[in-house]
């Protein structure tokens, strides 16, 4: 994909002198960067979607190939942390050689859910997607009526 030339670069009528500069920055920080910085960084994390409604937060994390036993979820003072530790070992013994591969990966994401309630949090892993439902604390009504003298 790094060799593809973008055909729909944005055109800026107001500041045409900066178009080349912007294109250079886009190319520099794209996935095709020579040292693969973004690609390696992206491999060490996972996508996270957070939705909020009146009563709860709904968090979805894409974790393909991850087992339930590899995931640790904590909620501490509104900070939701999803940590994944995966330790894979493959060993094949055939004929006169032994083939061994090991892979260890660790990744973590944290988000603040300021009015999260620690009670009633539910999590479910389905087809590589982790679904977490975090209820919100009931907000006390601190409104007072002030009499005018």
How do strand 48-52 and strand 122-126 relate by DSSP bridges?
Answer: unpaired
Domains and their CATH numbers in the chain: 8-43 (no CATH), 47-135 (2.60.40.790)
| Paired tokens of 83 | 């940590």
What integer pLDDT is reported at residue 10 of this predicted model?
55
Q: Find the Cα–Cα–Cα–Cα dihedral 122, 125, 130, 133, rounded to 10°.
A: -20
d(Cα 113, Cα 75) in Å, to the nearest integer?
9
| Paired tokens of 9 | 């670069």
| Paired tokens of 13 | 């009528």
pLDDT in tens, the chain (149 residues): 344 444 445 555 556 666 777 766 666 665 554 444 444 444 567 899 999 999 999 999 999 988 999 999 999 999 999 999 988 777 777 777 677 777 778 899 999 998 999 999 999 999 999 999 999 998 877 888 999 99
């Amino acid at each position: 994909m790094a060799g593809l030339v973008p055909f729909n670069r944005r055109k800026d009528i107001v500041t045409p002198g900066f178009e080349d500069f912007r294109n250079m920055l886009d190319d520099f920080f794209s996935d095709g960067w020579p040292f693969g910085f973004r690609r390696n960084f992206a491999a060490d994390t996972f996508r996270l979607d957070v939705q909020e409604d009146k009563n709860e937060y709904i968090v979805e994390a894409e974790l393909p190939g991850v087992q339930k036993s590899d995931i640790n979820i904590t909620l501490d003072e509104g900070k939701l942390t999803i940590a994944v530790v995966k330790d894979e070992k493959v060993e094949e013994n055939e004929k006169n050689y032994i083939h061994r591969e090991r892979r260890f990966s660790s990744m973590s994401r944290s988000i603040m859910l300021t009015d999260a309630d620690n009670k009633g949090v539910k999590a479910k892993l389905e087809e590589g997607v982790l679904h977490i439902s975090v209820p919100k604390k009931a907000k006390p009504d601190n409104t007072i009526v002030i009499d005018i003298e």
